[in-house]
Chains A and B, each alone.
Chain A
């Protein structure tokens, strides 16, 4: 049977949603084998099984915690050699893409990143990518080696389908080396979902007027169980931390719903959110380019529109 390797992203035993998306996607091409690095596999296995994993390769070596990127690429290269999969899928996160890059060099295979779709083709999988700030749609394929594809989170909807998820222990053949992790600091995010994985993202821009004004964005996000994003104007001004910037030089998101509040929608910003499924915009300038993308837009003062919206959401709960 055709085997597909899926590198799991997880925090301890908590499988990230993007991994379930990858397992779902892998079923289009063959039998998904999840590659689990580090601890937590025994508990994580159940989730992988729910989404149709045939196997779970577990490598519990300490190297995965102690070194960045390189050990995961080593392990994948080892499994590619042993199992001859037809495809390797990874999450299109910054780290996932780095692992993909190293693996590509190791096994001399083509790598595609930031795919928003992947379909079987006559000459192997064909990836859809959205480039130049979303203005151009590109279909590309790998023409040498085992295709390596890093999928953008939220590219496909996870669909449960039971699978055996049979655990098989593997271990790194090579000694870990390279850059050593000496400390990990997890930022306080509270209960909010991860920005790149969230189904709903509420972003605020220059129109919020300052750090204090930006708080309304957090309140709205929490009322929708959404992640908070910000335009570059906001993070440059220091109104909100830089890691929440959505745009060309920040995070790229494609949630089910994207709400742009007080954001004009310059290309810098559009590049990070144009592939969102539904877009809502609130801006006082009727000429703001964000309205060209919006499925629904309100021309008005966000400090009037958002409080009323919050009240309505409260009533409907």
Chain B
């Protein structure tokens, strides 16, 4: 089974994240990057599925696919040290400034070129937080979308998931190939072992350019984006509120505030 896990490098949530004044794109250079947290669950799920396939006597391989600047190689390395077999890095200056729509086009081109039985991604990235990539890729690749999974079961050439919804969950099934997205806590992502870190250094990472993947330069990057940032500002700090120390009347004070604002 050919499993491709999509990994995005994102700026550290704990760092100060900014948009560049010139074009409103994310300033990725000034902050530390790391694997999008939700993608770690996707990697772990991919590894577990591959392990189960191998245990059942089938061949299985986990490929990491990343689109991003040079620096994203750090995230690829980490994913490989967790246990993925190889990686593809879509790396081209022409991709900078791509929006979700053009990113899905570029990734779909690469996925078409490398082939897959299962594409797995995190349910969203912690920077853009759109949560649309699995849906867009399924549409572009014309395969079932088996997304927002909190549980995944593979049975031969079928996949069955538990899809989280606003008020419970659905059980959803489809045939392979398919695109899966996983939610937080579907599993417990492993830490890379020392052996894993050493082994990762020898694993193949294929770098692909736009031309390699047959991606039309005009359809990606800032120029190819279907959306644009008009302006952006730092949110002004909230007006300082009233903070009181509980002197035995804290609950009454909160009630008074609630009543003054007509909440009670």
Q: Interface residues, chain A, CB within 8 Å of chain B?
A: 11, 68-70, 73, 93-95, 97-102, 104-106, 108-114, 121, 126, 130-145, 177-187, 189, 194, 196, 200, 224, 235, 242-243, 248-250, 252, 256-257, 267-268, 271, 274, 278-280, 282, 286, 291-301, 304-313, 316-317
Neighbouring A residues of B19 by C-beta, 8 Å: 131, 136, 138
Residues A140 and B227 in contact in the complex (CB < 8 Å), given A105-B104, A298-B254, A300-B246: yes
Q: Which residues of A contact B16 (CB under 8 A)?
A: 135
Residues of A within 8 A of B255 (CB): 309, 312-313, 316
User: In the complex, which residues of chain B have a beta carbon less than 8 angstroms from the beta carbon of A297?
Assistant: 241-244
User: How near does chain A come to B174, taking the closest CB pair, in angstroms?
Assistant: 4
* Interface: B185 (CB within 8 A): yes
B14's nearest neighbour on chain A, judged by CB, is: A267
Contact A298 B244 (CB under 8 A): yes
A93 vs chain B, min Cβ distance (A): 6
Distance (whole angstroms) from the CB of A63 to the closest CB of chain B: 14
Nearest CB on B from A235, distance (A): 8
Docked Cα-Cα span, A90 to B128, in Å, equals 18
In this assembly, does B100 line the interface, its C-beta being within 8 Å of a C-beta of chain A? yes
Known contacts A178-B174, A179-B172, A306-B251, then 4 further A-B pairs from the complex at CB < 8 Å, ordered by chain A residue: A102-B145, A105-B139, A187-B168, A194-B167
Give complex CA distance A109, B136 in Å: 12
Per the bound structure, the CA–CA distance linking A235 and B123 in Å amounts to 18
Nearest-Cβ distance from residue A128 to partner chain B, whole angstroms: 10
- Taking A94-B148, A105-B136, A267-B14 as contacts, is the C-beta distance between A140 and B229 under 8 angstroms? yes
Query: Given the known A-B contacts A68-B163, A194-B167, are A101 and B132 also in contact in the complex, defined by CB atoms under 8 Å?
Result: yes
Report if A99-B135 is in contact (Cβ < 8 Å); known contacts: A126-B230, A134-B235: yes
Q: Please provide the chain B residues from 78 to 131 with a CB less than 8 Å away from any CB of chain A in the complex.
A: 99-101, 104, 123, 126-131
Binding site for A on B (CB under 8 A): 13-14, 16-19, 24, 37-38, 99-101, 104, 123, 126-136, 138-140, 144-148, 160, 163-174, 178, 184-185, 225-235, 237-239, 241-246, 248-255, 257-259, 261, 263-264
How far is it, in angstroms, between the C-alpha of A54 and the C-alpha of B232 when the chains are bound? Answer: 35
Q: What 8 pairs between A and B have smallest CB-CB spacing?
A: A308-B251, A300-B246, A101-B132, A110-B226, A312-B255, A309-B251, A101-B135, A98-B135
Partner of B253, one of A70, A110, A180, A298: A298
Contact of A141 among B136, B230, B242, B257 (CB under 8 A): B230
In the docked arrangement, what's the CA distance between A104 and B246, Å?
Answer: 52
A46 to B224 CA separation, bound complex (whole angstroms): 42
**Contact, CB under 8 Å: B232 / A138:** yes
Complex partner residue of A136 from B129, B134, B232, CB under 8 angstroms: B232
For B234, the closest partner residue in chain A by CB is A136
Residue in B38, B235, B250, B258 whose beta carbon sits within 8 Å of that of A304 in the complex: B250
* A249 & B184 in contact (Cβ 8 Å cutoff): yes
Picked from B235, B242, B245, the residue with its CB within 8 Å of the CB of A300 is B245
Q: Which of A73, A98, A137, A312 contacts B232 (CB 8 A)?
A: A137
Please, which residues of chain B bring their CB within 8 A of the CB of A305?
246, 250-251, 254
9 A–B contact pairs at CB < 8 A? A70-B145, A94-B148, A104-B100, A138-B232, A184-B170, A271-B13, A291-B243, A295-B257, A309-B254
B112 to chain A, nearest CB (A): 14
Asked if B132 and A224 sit within 8 Å, CB to CB, the answer is: no
Partner of B227, one of A69, A97, A112, A304: A112
Q: How near does chain A come to B12, taking the closest CB pair, in angstroms? A: 10
B166 contacts A183, C-beta separation under 8 Å: no
Contact of A242 among B174, B184, B259, B261 (CB under 8 A): B184
The answer to whether B172 and A139 touch across the interface, beta carbons within 8 angstroms, is: no
B227 touches A143 (CB 8 A): yes
For A68, give its contact among B14, B172, B229 (CB under 8 Å).
Answer: B172
In the docked arrangement, what's the CA distance between A105 and B245, Å? 54
Cβ of B237: which chain A residues have Cβ within 8 Å of it? 292
Contact A111 B132 (CB under 8 A): yes
Tell me if B243 and A68 are in contact (CB < 8 A): no
Give every chain A residue within 8 A of B163 (Cβ-Cβ): 68
Q: Is the beta-carbon distance between A304 and B246 smaller than 8 angstroms?
A: yes
Contact A68:B170 (CB < 8 A) given known A271-B13, A316-B264: yes
> B243, A69: Cβ atoms under 8 Å?
no
Given A138-B24, A142-B226, A280-B254: A98 in contact with B132 (beta carbons within 8 A): yes
